[in-house]
Structure 1
Amino acid sequence: MDIESIFENFSEKQESYKLTIPDNWSQGRTVFGGLSAALAYQAAENLISDGRELRAFHCNFVGPLNVDEEVEVSAEVLRTGRNVTQILAKVIQNGQVGVMAQVCFGVSRESKLNHIDHPKHDMPIPKKAKFIPQIPKIVPKFIRHFDLALEKGSFSVGTKKDPEMHGWCRLSKAPSQMKMAYLIALMDAWPPTMFQMMKLPAPASTMSWDIEFIHPISEISPTDWLACVVKASHVNQGYGHEEADFWDQNGRLVALSRQVVAVFG
């Protein structure tokens, strides 16, 4: 089941959405975190009707969500003001909260302020993705849904001293149109950067994820690559703090991301 098929469950606006995520979207024994975050986002977006765009997304991964078991996704408006709408979304399984997200949508406004001061990447657009073999219990199954083209860093453990990756990513099977929910899932396709520093494979789990969206995604096509520069600024006491920047193919900064990752190794 591809990503577009999963989100057909959200085609009609409802109070809540019930669906089952298949095993090919698993990350170990549980649902791929980027997809579960995207589910929460989509429930929130379905409550927006006046064209307000996503500005900020804060997600906490509270507990595991099992594949091949039903989940329920719901959202509620916390407040709607003149410029901003705040929404709380949850993904629940067996009566327990697995994912909780606070989503902020805002209108675009005319402003006298226009300041951009952010480093750019210099990576050429890739001609093809890097082949990632499906090694059982090592490579998560969800990876088959994404193309990754690595320019700096490594997917292998024990190969690098620095927790940093540069590269490109896109959906392996292009949907009919690009949606924000798909983009959120795509942004989480990269493995934790600190894995390449470890001598042996070890489990890791993202605890929280913040994304700030700089530009709308209307100019991103379903087949486009998304550039990513991600690095861990601190890794100690069993936790990694990662920061990532994402650009579209035209070099336009799309989003700023930050994750806190628990590492058990």
Structure 2
Amino acid sequence: HVVGKGVQDGQVKVLIQGSFGASRESAIHVAAEPLVLTGGVDQTQKLSYIKDMIPEFTKHFDFRYLTKFPFAGSDETSLEGYVRFSEEPESVSEAHLLGLIDAWPPTTLPMMKKLCMASSLSWTVEFIQPYQAPRGDEYIGYKADIVDSQDGYAYARAKVANDKGELIAISQQTVTHFG
């Protein structure tokens, strides 16, 4: 186990913990089911950057939504689509993949009917091992489902897959939303 702290102006802003282990023999083998999204990249809506409406960092990502955009008043309790970097990296490391996963908005935001603030309270990402690095030009499939949401908090679980639908990460998040 490794623990790290991100400190800014003398205050802890982020705490990160990593757990690492070596492969070993096991009598149990359960293969992950492929992630099957409701459509391909060609059936998506591209999220375009709109100054002062969409966060600045989104310019670095090519988002393709299969579900509604944030603040569209969706009835769906899931968020689904594809993402890749706007500028293709040589390779996609675990750090790149963290960025691609973190770039997605909280799963509750498409359900909102007007702009509101939201923030991660906790976030856990598990990389499926052995890690199969996606190509730099590859769209990463993403499907997050709200497990529960009430009283301004939401709990969501997401599956992240390469372009073949093979699971490469699992993300779990607790989100606070103010709306």
Q: What's the TM-score once normalised by structure 2's chain length?
A: 0.90
CA contact (8 A) 2:132 2:168 kept: no
Q: Give the match for residue 50 of structure 2.
A: 134
- For 1:105, what is the secondary structure of its paired residue? coil
Q: 1:170 to 1:129 in 2, by over 3 A?
A: farther
Q: Percent identity?
A: 31
Q: 1:115 to 1:217 in 2, by over 3 A?
A: closer
Q: Among residues 1, 6, 28, which one is paired with 1:113 in the alignment?
A: 28
- For 2:31, what is the secondary structure of its paired residue? coil
- For 1:176, what is the secondary structure of its paired residue? coil
Q: Give the match for residue 19 of structure 2.
A: 104
Q: Give the match for residue 228 of structure 1.
A: 142
- For 1:106, what is the secondary structure of its paired residue? coil
**Letter paired with 1:111:** S
Q: 1:123 to 1:197 in 2, by over 3 A?
A: closer
State the Cα deviation string for residues 53-85 of structure 1 (Å, max 9, x = none). xxxxxxxxxxxxxxxxxxxxxxxxxxxxxxxxx
In the TM superposition, 1:140-179 aligns within 5 A as 140-151=55-66, 153-179=67-93
- For 1:258, what is the secondary structure of its paired residue? strand
Deviation at 1:231, TM superposition (A): 1.6
**Letter paired with 2:13:** G
State the Cα deviation string for residues 222-245 of structure 1 (Å, max 9, x = none). 111111111212111110111100
Whole-angstrom CA distance in 2 between matches of 1:119 and 1:132: 29
Deviation at 1:192, TM superposition (A): 1.4
In the TM superposition, 1:4-43 aligns within 5 A as none
Q: What's the TM-score once normalised by structure 1's chain length?
A: 0.62
Q: Among residues 162, 168, 171, which one is paired with 1:254 in the alignment?
A: 168
Q: Give the match for residue 105 of structure 2.
A: 191
CA contact (8 A) 1:155 1:191 kept: no
Of 119-128 and 238-247, more deviation after overlay is shown by 119-128
CA contact (8 A) 1:125 1:225 kept: no
CA contact (8 A) 1:214 1:253 kept: yes
Whole-angstrom CA distance in 1 between matches of 2:171 and 2:80: 14
Whole-angstrom CA distance in 1 between matches of 2:146 and 2:103: 16
Deviation at 1:163, TM superposition (A): 2.6
Q: How many residues align?
A: 178
In the TM superposition, 1:61-72 aligns within 5 A as none
Of 175-184 and 153-162, more deviation after overlay is shown by 153-162
**Letter paired with 1:135:** K
- For 2:142, what is the secondary structure of its paired residue? strand
**Letter paired with 1:150:** Y
Deviation at 1:129, TM superposition (A): 7.0
Larger relative contact order, structure 1 or 2 (CA cutoff 8 Å, min sep 6): 2
Whole-angstrom CA distance in 1 between matches of 2:104 and 2:31: 26
Whole-angstrom CA distance in 1 between matches of 2:121 and 2:177: 10
In the alignment, structure 1 residue 95 sits paired with structure 2 residue 10: yes
Q: 1:122 to 1:185 in 2, by over 3 A?
A: closer
The answer to which structure has the higher helix fraction is: 1
Deviation at 1:122, TM superposition (A): 4.0
